[in-house]
Structure 1
Amino acid sequence: MSARLQVQNLLDFIDASPSPWHAVHSVEAELARHRFVRLDEAAKWPLQPEGRYYVVRDDSSIVLFVVGRKPLPEAGFKIIGAHTDSPGLRIKPNAANCSEGLARLNVEVYGGPILATFSDRDLSLAGRIAYRDEHGRIAAQRVRFDEVLLRLPNLAIHMNRTVNEDGLKFNKQTELPLILSVLAEQQLPLPYFQSLLEELSGIEAAHILSWDLNVYDTQKGAFWGAEQEFYTDSQLDNLASCHAGLQAVLDETVLSGTDATLVCAFFDHEEIGSESHIGAAGSFLKDMLRRIGLATETDGEDYARALARSFLVSADMAHAYQPNFPNAYDPDHKVLVNKGPVIKVNAGRRYSSESISEARFAHWCEEAGVPYQKYSHRSDLPCGSTIGPIASAKLGIRAVDVGNPMWAMHSIRESAGVLDHDYLIRVLKRFFAD
C-alpha cells in the first residue's frame, strides 16, 4: 500500500473514532476482518497455537495478541503500546445550564489540550452513556452526534484588545461552557440535554443514568501542502500510533506466523497519568500477559524467562521542529517531518529508551529501509512522558520510546508528514517479524 493510501486509511480510522470508546470499536472492526476472537476476562481461555485473540476492558482499552509458534520461554512477547485517548473537553455530570436564554454545556478539561484551538470550531459530542435496560440491569451504549452541535465563540478583538500580544486564554470554569441552543421559556436545560441523548440513542431519558462524553471536532482529516505531503486531523496524538501498530500486526506476512507471541496494547487515560484499572499504570497488560502464560502452560520460572526475552515498543508522537519557534527546541536535536520515526531519549527516564533499546530499534529501521531520527527535549523545559516507562517498570522488560514527528501536539487540529506514517508501519512490521 502506498504512503498516501496508508494515511487516507488512517484519516478514515480517526474520523470514525471521535472518542476512546469509538477508537476501540474501530480497532475491533479491523480485527473481525482478520478473524480475531474476542475473549472474556471472566472466562477461561482455550488458546490455540498461532491463534488470534483480543480483550477489551471497560470499552476504551484493548489488548490484542497472536500466539507465537514457539513456546513463550523460548521466544517471549513482542509488544507495541500506544494510547486511545487525546486531550480535550469532557461534559460534566450536571451537563447543561441556562444563561440569558442560551443552553450551555458545562465542560471539564481532560489532559493538557491547547484550549485556544477549541474556539470557533464546529464541535460535537461522542462517547458512551450508561443506562438501565428493560431488565433493570446497567448497560452501556456508544453515542455520537454527527452534526455540528456546539461552539465556543471567541470574544471580539474590540473587547479583548491585547489578544494578539498576550494570547487567547480561557478561564477553565467560567469561559469554556459550550453554547448548545436557545431555550424556550418553559424548557429546563438538563432535561433538554437528556432529551437529545434519548433522540440519538433511542433510550428513554428517564433510563439514562450517566455518561462519558467527549467534545470532538467534526471537520474531517485532510492532506495539505504544495505536494500534499502533509496531513491534518484531530487526535493524531495518539491514534496515529495505534493505527500504525494495528497495521503492522495485521500484515499478512506477520499474521502468517512468528516465533514470538505478538501483542498490541492500546490504553485509555494516558493523557491524565495512566492511573486507572484500564490505564498503563494499572494491571491490564500485566494481567493479559499472565493469562496468556497460564493458558499456554507457561508458569513460574518459565514465565519469568518469557518476560526476560520480551521487548516493548512504546509508540507515541514526537515534537517536529517548527522553524517559526526555534527557541523551543534543542538545536542539536531537531527532528523533521517526513524524515522518519523518532527515537525519544531522556536522562530522567521520562522516556523508556536506553542505549541497547535505541540500538535495536535503529537496527530494525535499517533492516526495513526506513530513516530514523533521535530527539532530546530542551534541558531547561519540562519533558512530557509516555506509557513506555510505566509499562516497562510494571513488567520488568526492556523498552524503547518512539513516534512520528508532528506539529501542534495537543491542538484540536494536529499535523504530520505522509511519508512518516508509512515508515513507522514498515519498521513495526520488521520488529514483529524479527
Structure 2
Amino acid sequence: MQLSLEDVSFALILKQLIEESFDGIIFAVNAETRKGLIFKEGRLCAVQSNRTDELLGSILISQGQISAEANEASLRRARIERRKQGEILLEQELISPAAIAEALNLQTEKRFGELFGWSQGFVKITPKPRIDKPHLFGSDEFKALVRRLILANCTSTVVIAALSPFAAAKPQPLSDDLPRDTGVNLMEILAQPVHQTLAVSEAGARALLALFCTGALNFEKNRYQDLIDSLSQMLASLENQDPFEVFGLSRHCSDDQLKRAYIKIAKEHHPDVYAYAQDAQVKHLSTEIFAHIQKAYEAVKRIREGKPAEDEVCFDNDEIRQELLFRQANEALRLRDYQKSLDLFRVLTKLSPDNRVYAEAFIKTLYLKWQASKRGSSLEIKLAIKDALTRFPESDQLYLLLGWVFKKEGSNKAIEAFRQAVRINPNNTEARRELRLIEMRGGLKNM
C-alpha cells in the first residue's frame, strides 16, 4: 500500500501502525531523501536513511567525539571487515560505549523524527510476518518518543491538516492518567473543541496530535455541534444588539407591539425548546439566550418609562456584578443545578483569576457534578486542582478536594492529600475526619 504524504500525515500513518501492532517494512521517499523503517508489533526495530548527515560518523563529528580523519579510517576498516563502524571505534578506544549509545539514539531520532515534518512524498507500507529484529524501545518508551518527535518536528501545516477533520470535536481522554510530557495545560485543550485550540494555540494543537497518535485520547464530535454553533452565533448577536433590536422594534413601538414581539421570541427561544438535545452546552447557551431576551425586555420597558436600562444602573461596578454572580452560583448549587452553578463560577474565575474563593468553589462544584452524574472521569477535576494549586498553593480546600478524588479512585494518594490539607490548616475538620476514618478502617481498601 502506498500513501501520499500530501493526503495523510506520517503521524496519522504511524498511529494506525501502532494500533494494528504492525509487522513489516516502511519505505518513505521525499525528493532525494529515502528512509526505510522496520516495525514489529507496532514498534520501531530499525531505521535507515540515505542522508549523509544522519550517518553515525557525521553525528559523532558534530558532537566533537571524533575527528573527520578518524571517521574516514574507521569507515574504511568497517567496509573491509564488514563490521559496524561503532565496533571499530570502540575497539580503537576512540570513544566510550556511553558516547556510542548516545550517538545511536540521536541517529535514530534524527532519521525517524524528520518524517513527522514531511508534507510531500510518499510512504509505502509492506507487511511482513515474523520480523526477527528486537525492538529499539519499550511500548511506553516508544510512544513517549513519538510524542516528543511530533512536538519537535510537525509543522503547523501538517498539524492543521491532520486535525482539521476533527475540528468540531472535543478531545476525549482514554484514561485518567494522561501523559504529562506535552508541555501544555491539558485542562485547557481538553475543555474546548479542536478548532478553538487550532485557532489560539499552536503548541496545544501539536500536543493534541501527539496524544491522539499515541492512543492517549480520541475525538468525539458532538452530534449537536451544528445547534451549538447556531446558538453561539445567536448569543453573540444578542450581546451586541440594542434592546429594541432584539425584538425588531423601533423606539416608537406601542406596548402591544412590544408584548407580541416579546411573547413570540420568548416562545421560540425558551430553553425547553432545546430540551431534546440533553446537552450541557446547549442548555447553557439556550439559558443565556433566554436571559438576554428577558434582560432586553426589561430594558425596553425601563427606557419607555424614562428610566435608565438595567446595565447602566447595576453593572458599572465589577465588584457588584461579581457578588451577584456569586449569589446566583451558590443558589444554583443549593438547587443542585450543577451545570448552571459551574458555568457561573467559571465566569467568576475568568473575571477574577486571583480570587481563591472563586477557584475553590468552581472546583468543588466540578467535583459535586461528577459525583452526582456518575459520568465522566476524574481527570478534569485533578487537572483543575493542579492548575489552581499553582496559584493558591496554601489552599487547604484544594487539597481536601484532591483527597476526595483520590479516595473515590481508591488511591492511597488520598492520605497525603488530606494530610497536606491539615498541615496547611490544622482546623480543617473535614480533612481530619477523613484521616480518622481511614485510620479506623485500616486503609482505603477497607472503606
Q: Could you say which structure has the larger radius of gyration?
A: 2
More strand, by proportion: 1
Q: Give the structure, 1 or 2, with the largest relative contact order (CA under 8 Å, sep 6 or more).
A: 1
TM > 0.5 fold call: no
Report the TM-score when normalising by structure 1.
0.19
Give the number of the structure whose residues are more often helix, by fraction: 2
